[in-house]
Structure formats: C-alpha cells, structure tokens
Amino acid sequence: QVQLVESGGGLVQPGGSLRLSCTTSGFTFSIYYMSWYRQAPGKERELVAAISSGGSTTNYADSVKGRFTISRDNGKKTAYLQMNLLKPEDTAVYYCKARRNIDYWGQGTQVTVSS
C-alpha cells in the first residue's frame, strides 16, 4: 500500500521557519521524482519545488527561490522542504507528490504564517 505522509506544518510568525517532511512507504522511493505543491484557499494548487530521484537536480517556483530548500534522504524514503523567511502569502496546505509513470499524493499539511 502506497503511503505519503506529510508532517511539520503549523502556525509560524512572518520571518520564521518550518521544515516539512514527507515520509513514504509502499513504492521504490529512490527512483521517483519528488515534488512539493501548495494550495491556498480559493487558489489552484501550485508547484513549489521539485527534486530528481538522485537529488542532483532541483527546481523552485520563483516565489520561493532563495527561501525554500527541497531535499531527500533515499535511505529514509523521506523528502523534505525547509522553509525560511516565511511570508503570510506562503499560507497554504502543502502536499508532497511522487512521480514516475504515475503520481502518488500525500494528504497535505497546513502551514499558516501569521502574526
């Protein structure tokens, strides 16, 4: 059974940091491309960051470049999203996705940036 479980979300003040984790099971994590998406209320889901299967290639949405870092640990079957200098507009539900020939999604974790 494929599972992707996001964790690490919460309430943080502007300028603060959070680290999201996406713990997986049920598929060969090391050969899957991993991504983080987010969806704010009333908006479409958008790609935040992505990382290749081996971790050598990453890409980011312009809105998070220089603030967010995506990484992975293939031994732990886990992907991460380090989020620094958070802004109120980063408030959203954050999802991880595994992609190869099919997509697997997690259930999401809420991130709220507010003073």
pLDDT tens-place string over residues 76-94 = 999 999 999 999 999 999 9
Q: How far apart are CA 85 and CA 87, in angstroms?
A: 7
Closest CA to 110 of 52, 38, 43, 48: 38
**pLDDT value, residue 3:** 97
Contact status, residue 35 vs residue 105, Cβ threshold 8 Å = no
Res 54: pLDDT:
94
Tokens of 80: 């991460």
- The one-letter code for the residue type at 94 is Y
Kindly give the parts of the chain with pLDDT less than 70.
none
What's the pLDDT at 27?
96
User: How far, in Å, CA of 64 to CA of 62, rounded?
Assistant: 6
